[in-house]
Amino acid sequence: MHLYILKRIVLLFPTLLGISLLVFLMLYFVPGDPAQIMLGERANAETLAELRAEMGLDQPFHIQFYRFFSGLLSGDLGRSIRTHEKITVEIFQRFPATFELTFFSMFIATFVGISTGILAAVRRGRFIDLLSMIGATAGISMPIFWLALLLVLMFSVYLPFFPVSGRMGTHIYLEPVTYFYTLDAMLAGDWAALSNVLWHLTLPAIALGTIPMAVIARMTRASLLEVLGEDYVRTAWAKGLARRWVILRHAVRNAFIPTLTVIALEFGYLLGGAVITETIFAWPGVGRWIFLAVQARDFRAVQGGVLLIATIFVLVNLLADILYAWLDPRIRYEK
């Protein structure tokens, strides 16, 4: 098992190197002059030349990539053209909001999706199975922006149960330590702040988690139906084992590997695909920050955000590979 994990970690480095190269090329070949954007259209040629020299934009390709990669290794992604702040600082302040939203969205999606998929597989062909699959199909087909606006309209305007935007009420003060508001509230022992943070998380988490929930439910049902027809499951039934024990101990664990793949992919996707949800709910996360950076043609900020999301996506899939080997020992010996 340790050798398997070591191999996966070693393969991680060339992957991250390739990602950093692609992200750099994205900035290098995108049309537009960052120096012109920073100084405005009325800047004279001399001032533009000085800023390009300061930013290294007048250097050859290989020197620019070397400077970018050196800064990347030292944790320096440059400064935002739009805000003039260090990109690493802005990411550090905004990423906890995105991660918190993604985590709670995937928690809801995983719990409801797996439970629904198991129930639909066990009750195959019955009313609950039909109802579950209709709901899953509707969840996959429903656009996130439409669902988010509908939730805001129903539960924030007509029935004002939930707040419409933000991570926390303006009347709540919480000292940011980790910038994970739920964790900061628990560390401070401020349960009123924790409940307020969770209250603000509810609507955007439901909106963001709807499509993953539907995908997980369908995958769990399909995988479990396939496993329930295997010989070792029929043998367990023949031995007279309890129904719950056969399903949970023998069938679900072996059917969970394809579902785990979906969960890992959806988690990585939501970290970078929460732009619409964060924009609608005015959620101060990385997705909304990248959206504003694209609008302002802030290429360095977009570069840093894309690099962060791609790196996290790779790390999430590394974790999924390790979980595969733990669930199915045959994987660690085959690879």
Of 79-88, 212-221, 229-238, the one with minimum mean pLDDT is 229-238
Is 114 contained in some domain? yes
Least confident of 91-95, 216-220, 310-314: 310-314
Q: pLDDT per residue over 300-318, tens digit each?
A: 788 888 888 778 878 877 7
What is the token pair recorded at 137?
């199909």
The two tokens of residue 11 are 């393969």
In a domain, 231, yes or no: yes
Mean pLDDT to the nearest integer, 221-249: 74
Task: State the total domains in the chain.
Answer: 1
Burial class (CB in 10 A: 0-12, 13-18, 19+), 303: buried
* Per-residue pLDDT tens digits for 30-75: 666 667 766 667 777 787 788 777 777 777 878 877 877 777 777 7
**DSSP secondary-structure letter at 248?**
I
Read off the pTM.
0.78
Classify residue 137: in a domain, yes or no.
yes
> Considering the domain boundaries, does residue 51 fall inside one?
no
pLDDT surpassing 60 at residue 335: no
Termini Cα distance of the chain: 11
Query: Taking Cα atoms as reference points, which of 180, 177, 182, 179 lies closest to residue 198?
Result: 182
Q: 156 is in which domain, residue-wise?
A: 96-284
> Does residue 293 lie in a domain region?
no
What is the number of other CB atoms lying within 10 angstroms of the CB of residue 102?
28
* pLDDT recorded at residue 328: 64
Q: How far is CA 135 from CA 37, 129, 141, in A?
A: 47, 10, 10
Confidence grade of residue 272 (pLDDT, cut at 50, 70, 90): low
- What pLDDT does 153 receive? 87
* Residue 275 in domain: yes
- Please give the mean pLDDT across all residues of the chain: 80
Residue 1's pLDDT is: 63
> What is the band of 286 on the pLDDT scale with cuts at 50, 70, 90?
confident
Is 248 domain-assigned?
yes
Where residue 145 sits, what CATH number does that domain have? 1.10.3720.10
Q: Say which residue, 162 or 75, is predicted with more confidence.
A: 162
Q: What is the pLDDT of residues 103-148, one digit of tens each?
A: 999 999 999 988 888 888 888 878 888 888 888 888 778 788 888 8
- Does pLDDT of 173 surpass 60? yes
- 9 or 327: which carries more pLDDT confidence? 9
d(CA 131, CA 113): 13
Alpha helix ranges (H) inside the chain: 2-29, 34-39, 45-55, 61-73, 87-122, 127-141, 144-152, 181-188, 191-228, 231-238, 243-245, 253-273, 275-280, 286-295, 299-327, 329-334
> Residue 4: is its pLDDT beyond 70?
no
pLDDT at site 26: 72
In a domain, 328, yes or no: no
Which tokens go with 239?
């031995």
